[in-house]
Amino acid sequence: MIEKELVRKAKKGEVSAFAQLVEIYEKDIITYCYYIIRDEEEAKDLAQETFLKAFVNLKSLRNEEDFKYWLLRIARNSCFKKIKKTNIERKLISKEEEKTTSIVDEMLENERRNKIVNALNKLDKKDKEIIILRDIQEFSYDEISKILKISMNLVKVRLFRARKNLKKIIEDEYGEIWDNKKRVKKFKFNKPWWSFRKSCK
């Protein structure tokens, strides 16, 4: 694996190898930070902070194959420290996966998406985070367990509880019956996150 070899070289002090790692993962880290912070410039700054921390502490990484998950954990910690420090009010952005041909259908889908976004913002931090990772960024259960450092069984339990809480909020707020076919995982980015920035403010 190319990334694994780059990590090995970077751990030996090869700056050019680490620069290639930054190029590979920069977009993913910025996007992940943006989901949490909901601010473009802050997300970029936090991504830079993440890579700086990773470079300084790279020798502490025991398994080169875990670099991606280790990097995401650093980003996660940086984001939540920033939130705690500045008390940022966050909003989540979602985009429906299914394309509609009818204008009426598109309006209904947009309305449903907005309801999901509003409901997500009312979840607690843990519930919101697990839905971001699984249903929006589409990480596997195994990947999420590595990012959050919890067992896969606990990942599944948290996700089940988060979806249940989301369902209750939507039904309480909007009086809708929320079935499994309408889960938030139907709404994801088909375009870069920054293309939706104006419409979600």
Task: Give 197's Cβ-side CA count (13 Å radius).
Answer: 12
What is the pLDDT at residue 115?
73
Query: Region 124-142: what's the mean pLDDT?
Result: 85
Please report whether residue 53 resides in a domain. yes
Percent of the chain with pLDDT over 90: 18
Please tell me the least confidently modeled range out of 20-24, 45-49, 97-101: 97-101
Tell me, yes or no, whether 109 and 194 share the same domain: yes
Cα pseudo-dihedral 190, 188, 50, 5, rounded to 10:
-70
Assess whether pLDDT exceeds 70 at residue 196.
Answer: no
Check if the beta carbon of residue 46 is closer than 8 Å to that of residue 75.
yes
Tell me, yes or no, whether 28 and 73 share the same domain: yes
Please report whether residue 12 resides in a domain. yes
Of the residues 86, 117, 136, which one is the last residue of a structural domain? 86
Please report whether residue 67 resides in a domain. yes
Q: Which domain holds residue 11?
A: 2-86
Query: Region 46-56: what's the mean pLDDT?
Result: 92
Query: What distance in Å separates the CA atoms of residue 30 and residue 51, rounded to the nearest whole number?
Result: 11
Check if the beta carbon of residue 96 is closer than 8 Å to that of residue 186.
yes
Confidence at 176, pLDDT banded by 50, 70, 90: low
Tell me, yes or no, whether 49 and 110 share the same domain: no
Tell me, yes or no, whether 134 and 170 share the same domain: yes
The residues, any chain, with a CB within 8 Å of residue 11's CB and separated by 6 or more, are 58, 59, 61, 64
What is the pLDDT at residue 185?
42
The residues, any chain, with a CB within 8 Å of residue 97's CB and separated by 6 or more, are 186, 187, 188, 190
Note if the pTM is more than 0.75. Answer: no
Tell me, yes or no, whether 77 and 37 share the same domain: yes
Please report whether residue 126 resides in a domain. yes
When the pLDDT of each residue in the chain is averaged and rounded to a whole number, the result is 75
Query: Region 165-182: what's the mean pLDDT?
Result: 67
Region for 149 from its dihedrals, namely left if φ exceeds 0, alpha if ψ lies in -120 to 50, beta otherwise = left
CATH of the domain at 52: 1.10.1740.10
Confidence at 110, pLDDT banded by 50, 70, 90: low
Higher pLDDT, 145 or 197: 145
Number of domains in the chain: 2
Of the residues 86, 115, 149, which one is the last residue of a structural domain? 86
Assess whether pLDDT exceeds 90 at residue 177.
Answer: no
Please report whether residue 125 resides in a domain. yes
Assess whether pLDDT exceeds 60 at residue 91.
Answer: no
Tell me, yes or no, whether 77 and 132 share the same domain: no
Please report whether residue 93 resides in a domain. no
Please report whether residue 128 resides in a domain. yes
Query: What distance in Å separates the CA atoms of residue 73 and residue 50, rounded to the nearest whole number?
Result: 9
Higher pLDDT, 36 or 90: 36
Tell me, yes or no, whether 125 and 52 share the same domain: no
Tell me, yes or no, whether 115 and 193 share the same domain: yes
Please report whether residue 91 resides in a domain. no
Tell me, yes or no, whether 78 and 119 share the same domain: no
